[in-house]
Structure 1
Amino acid sequence: MQERILIVDDEPGILHALHRLIRHGLTTPGGERYLVDECSNGAEALEQARRHVYALAISDYRMPEMNGVDFLTGLKALQPDCQRMIVSGYADMDALVRGLNDAGIVRFIGKPWVDLDLMCAVRQVLQMRELVLENQRLADVVRVQHGRLSAQEAELRRLELLEPGITQVQWADDGSFILEDPGEVRL
């Protein structure tokens, strides 16, 4: 499965610049290019996050309707293992503190950014994510070995990391289970 990065900004020029920079300047540990998804607002980005798993989300702070901290806080609830960054020209200390505490952002990069600095920060954040996920996997192996976690529970955790929500089953009133097409729009 190819890894994804989500970029959220209400300015199309910023979206395209970040997309181009990341798409052409970054590869996964396996040597593949990341898939980069662009969204112009937080609500659209949360919908994308319900359909795809992201390694990293980069968001502007100031956007109409939903600011970056609110979006990243919602994303954290959906995908706790997705790393979160803010790239913004607006540096409000209260907003940054809220971003750290509520959304769990790991980096703040100011606009305009220096390409090399941004890419170094993105690489560090993605490497940190890989270490955290590997530590979780190894801790589960130890828990299984010590009988504190069953092999089945460890596998469910692994699957949930790959596809959040995959281990959740929705039941209909008649006892059947409900399958939803991730591309299907709910009304």
Structure 2
Amino acid sequence: MSRILIVDDEASILKALQRLLRVAPCTYGSKQFTLDVVAANSPLEALKIARQEDFDLFISDYRMPEMDGIEFLKAAKAIQPDAARLILSGYADLNALVRAVNEVGIERFIGKPWNDYDLMSAIGQALAHRDLLLENRQLADLVRLEMGDKTAEQLEAERLERLEPGITKVNWGADGSVVLDPGVD
């Protein structure tokens, strides 16, 4: 099951997207994706959710009151770097599109109103691309292990760090003790 977080400040857009993603088939090539959709009507709420739950894809409106879609997707990328990212917008701003591609690495910029088939195709393509990138990473890690470039322990530490950023870092105190909460004296 692929988890998707949709962010848009318009409730009617969120409901339409949820309805579409619930009933429309999502395929790419021979791959079929079952979608679990979570919606948020504010980017700050969406970031809060992203810190607590894992997602395979983020879909964001471009123009929102608290922050624009590029800023949201940049923050989401910092939290979950392996998730795919799409922007959905009624504003065809070339500068915004270039910024989204360069700063965030979005998969697609989809215009509003969207064509259901094109949107589902873009989602399927983004999810398939993400799966391929993760599979390539695993295969590259196996090659590194076989070649002796990395140990099994190093690969496991990298995997844990991707799951829980900061888990493999230790904060040492001046006296050699481990500091669990750096901000607390």
What band does the TM-score fall into relative to the shorter chain?
0.7 to 0.9
Aligned to 1:117: 118
- Post-superposition shift, 1:170? 7.3
Match of 1:10 in 2: 9
Deviation by residue 1:97-131 (Cα, 9 ceiling, x = unmatched): 11111111110111011111100110011000000
- Bigger shift: residues 120-129 or 13-22: 13-22
Question: What secondary structure sits across from 1:113 in the alignment?
Answer: coil
Which one has the largest radius of gyration?
2
Contact persistence 1:76–1:104 (CA under 8 A): no
1:85-164 matches, within 5 Å, as: 85-161=86-162, 163-164=163-164
* Partner SS for 2:128: helix
Partner of 2:24: 25
Once residues 165 and 26 of structure 1 are traced to their aligned partners in structure 2, the CA distance between those partners, rounded to angstroms, is 34
Q: For 2:90 and 2:144, how far apart are their aligned partners in 1? A: 45
Contact 2:26 2:123 in 1 (8 A): no
TM-score by length of 2: 0.84
| Displacement of 1:31 | 6.8
Cα distance in 1 between the residues matched to 2:128 and 2:108: 13
Displacement after TM superposition at 1:96 (Å): 0.8
SS at match of 1:66: coil
Classify the secondary structure of the residue corresponding to 1:145: helix
Contact preservation (8 Å) 1:159, 1:166: no
Check whether the contact 2:62–2:68 (CA below 8 A) recurs between aligned residues.
Answer: yes
Quote the RMSD (CA, aligned, Å): 2.6
TM-score (norm 1): 0.83
Asked if the contact 2:170–2:178 (Cα under 8 Å) also holds between the matched residues in 1, the reply is no
Distance 1:153 1:4 in 2: 28
1:166, 1:3 → 2: CA distance?
A: 25
How many residues align? The count is: 176
Task: Specify every segment of 5 or more residues in structure 2 that has no aligned partner in the other structure, as ranges.
Answer: none
- The change in CA–CA distance for 1:170 and 1:155 in structure 2 (over 3 A counts) is closer
Q: Does the 8 Å contact 1:169/1:177 carry over to 2?
A: no
**SS in structure 2 opposite 1:108?**
strand
CA deviations over 1:29-59 (Å, ceiling 9, x no partner):
9977332111111111111111111110000
